[in-house]
Structure 1
Amino acid sequence: MFVEERQALIYEELQSNGRVRVKDLSKKFNVSEDLIRKDLNVLEKEGKLRKIYGGAVLAKENVQRKLASQRKNINLDAKKNIAKKAINIIEPGDIIFLDISTSSIEMAKLLINEQKPMTVITNMLEVINILVSSNINVIFIGGELDYGHDGFVGSLTNQMIDGFRFDKAFLGVVGVDINDNSVMTYMPADAQTKKLVLSHSKETYMLCESEKFNQIGNYQYAKIDDFYGLICDKDLSLGLHKELKQYDIKVIE
């Protein structure tokens, strides 16, 4: 087997499982552990992985801040799949929170046709614009407008949220790092709002496209085990399932 071929297979395993061990790779390819370490060095220089003790983990993509209008049509099918699964969780009479997330937009579009009685509380402008034509009881959270992200954040927003208690909250994420037990967003102001919602909700669900496990944000706002559940667009790999199991989080895929 050529060196390049072995390195490509190592990278494929990283993409599937999120991490690899030198000892396991040495046995799998019937080569020395030193040779595997050299392979990992090459892949790390290419920005494909990050070496850790005894092996390596998949390198995270540092997602740059984008406007909500730029992001809402990216991975649209994945967001629609997440929205369908999230809607099924809502029960009659629930008070739910939808935060500033492009997946929340897809949820709002589906909620228009829902016949279940519920109350939707949100700080996202586009969600309000969609639900204004529905029969749903809607409460809008104001405050300081973040123009780029189409919603309200800051101290005034948090003061309004602080008076509510939610049956279920659905929060977007920019990136998830399983190894560091970290859930990230773009900016501190949005992070503080999300953290407050988490503390005021009986069940909080992460709206998480599968690619978010390979991305990082600028600011950690929660740990994975702070959430009740994670809603993903498609089946996760066995490796991701194994890693998530340690956090005792309900995975809906």
Structure 2
Amino acid sequence: MFAQERRDVILQVLHQDGTVLVKDLSERFAVTEDCIRKDLAFLENQGFLKRTYGGAMELRSNPHKFHVSDRKSEDIEGKQMIAKKAFAHLSRGDTVYLDISTSNLELMKEIVRNSLEVKVVTNMVDLIPLAASGGIQLFFTGGELNRTGDGFWGSGAIRFIERFRFDKGFFGAVGMDVDTGGAFTYDLEDGSVKSAAIRSCRRAFLVAEQEKFHKDGNYEFARLTQFEAVILDREPDREIGEKAQKAGVLLE
């Protein structure tokens, strides 16, 4: 297969899946990983994609533009695994912050299922119906409704959050980078709320699928070292695990 043919196929896969990994493409085309990296560099220079750690992502509008309800059915098993790991960090009587995250939706279900008596503060709309069950006290930040209608941000939400001192907080991200050490989102407003809540936490955790290490965002809202642990759905790639360990980032 000629280089241009290979690059055309790469773009087709990218359009279908949103992301590609160097390792997977190398195996698919039976060429070296260095060859694939050169292909991705060429396509990036042409404006077709953005290279990320270990692969590339499609250049497109914010993939999280849809309401949480449009994403919560994706990879349910992975999110449930994250939720179970996160739940293990909770104790009766905790005051907990839950960020806008489909993994936190599963964590809230886990809290309700186990009838754990905690206080939950959140800016996530989809958590409200779940809080009616069990011994959960729910505090909603209020503020400005975000663009997707699934939560609140703005100065009102931040002022409300800053009144609390959370025992634990759980935060989502659209991307993570073990090389730069950043956790990313797409919106400054969303990132500002996340950052404020992290500052108000005694213990903060990042909850995300392992694949988020291969995705990127526009705004860094935290350093990975600010989190007690990054809670994943499955074991990360060995190279990522080694880099995280070297950087002092605990992966669960």
Per the shorter chain, which TM-score range? 0.7 to 0.9
> 1:242, 1:131 → 2: CA distance?
39
1:164-204: CA deviation from partner (whole Å, max 9, x where unpaired) = 00111000010011112111112111100000111111111
Q: Is the 8 A contact 2:22 2:33 kept in 1?
A: no
- Structure 1 residues 132 and 92 mapped into 2: Cα distance closer, same or farther (>3 Å)? same
1:138 aligned partner:
138
More deviation, 38-47/98-107: 38-47
2:171 aligned partner:
171
Q: Is the 8 A contact 2:22 2:36 kept in 1?
A: no
Within 5 Å, which residues of 2 pair with 1:61-80? 61=57, 64-67=63-66, 68-80=68-80
Question: Which structure 1 segments of 5+ residues have no match?
Answer: 16-28, 30-34, 51-55
> 1:11, 1:60 → 2: CA distance?
8
Question: Which structure 2 segments of 5+ residues have no match?
Answer: 4-9, 11-20
The Cα of 1:134 is off from its aligned counterpart by 2.6
SS in 2 for 1:216: coil
The Cα of 1:97 is off from its aligned counterpart by 0.5
Provide runs of 4+ in structure 1 moved above 3 Å: 35-40, 46-50
- Structure 1 residues 37 and 217 mapped into 2: Cα distance closer, same or farther (>3 Å)? closer
> 1:230, 1:180 → 2: CA distance?
15
- Structure 1 residues 40 and 212 mapped into 2: Cα distance closer, same or farther (>3 Å)? closer
1:188 aligns with 2:199: no
User: How many pairs were matched up?
Assistant: 226
> 1:36, 1:58 → 2: CA distance?
10
1:71-105: CA deviation from partner (whole Å, max 9, x where unpaired) = 22222221111111111110122111001111111
Q: Is the 8 A contact 1:60 1:216 kept in 2?
A: no
2:99 aligned partner:
99
1:117-167: CA deviation from partner (whole Å, max 9, x where unpaired) = 321111111111111233212211111111515111100000000110011
> 1:116, 1:195 → 2: CA distance?
27
- Structure 1 residues 172 and 115 mapped into 2: Cα distance closer, same or farther (>3 Å)? same
- Alignment partner for residue 55 of structure 2, among 59, 62, 72? 59
Within 5 Å, which residues of 2 pair with 1:1-253? 11-12=22-23, 40-46=37-43, 50=51, 57-61=53-57, 64-67=63-66, 68-252=68-252
Residue identity opposite 1:156 in structure 2: G
The Cα of 1:45 is off from its aligned counterpart by 2.6
Higher strand share: 1
Q: TM-score, normalised by structure 2?
A: 0.79
2:7 aligned partner:
none
> 2:146, 2:214 → 1: CA distance?
26
- Structure 1 residues 12 and 157 mapped into 2: Cα distance closer, same or farther (>3 Å)? same
SS in 1 for 2:251: strand
The Cα of 1:3 is off from its aligned counterpart by 9.8
> 1:132, 1:13 → 2: CA distance?
45
The Cα of 1:37 is off from its aligned counterpart by 5.9
2:6 aligned partner:
none
Q: Is the 8 A contact 1:14 1:58 kept in 2?
A: no
The Cα of 1:44 is off from its aligned counterpart by 2.7
More deviation, 130-139/172-181: 130-139
